[in-house]
Amino acid sequence: MIELRFPYEGPQDLLPTIVQALEQVVDPEVALNIVDVGLVYGVAIADGRMDVRITMTSAACPVTDVIVDDVENALDDAMPPDLKIHVEVVWEPPWTPERMSGRARAFMGW
């Protein structure tokens, strides 16, 4: 059973592949994957489109474009070719350290 760390709406058979793909994307500033850091706010699939909402730990994050590109590439490689992928960076609610997984907090020494 997958411990889901973000809201998901879509076919359940795609969920493990989505989680695995997102866990391959690393926030280079903290050297942890974006799922454990709590940057993924939600994934929804409908009408041939995947909408992914992510955030950054700060609006001044210098690697936002890198992370967005990595998310798009990881999902594009993992998902059916006819599925359109749209990644949106959102700022509400603001990211807080409470969104991090226990593994990420331990890694950070929190």
pLDDT tens-digit map of 65-77 = 999 999 999 999 9
Q: What is the pTM of this model?
A: 0.94
Domain residue ranges of the chain, discontinuous segments joined by +: 8-108
Query: What is the homologous superfamily of the domain 8-108 according to CATH?
Result: Fe-S cluster assembly (FSCA) (3.30.300.130)
Helices 64-78 and 15-23: angle between axes, nearest 10 degrees: 140
Bridge partners for 42 per DSSP: 53
pLDDT beyond 90 at 109: no
Could you report the per-residue pLDDT of 28-58, keeping only the tens digit for each?
Answer: 989 999 999 999 999 999 999 999 999 999 9
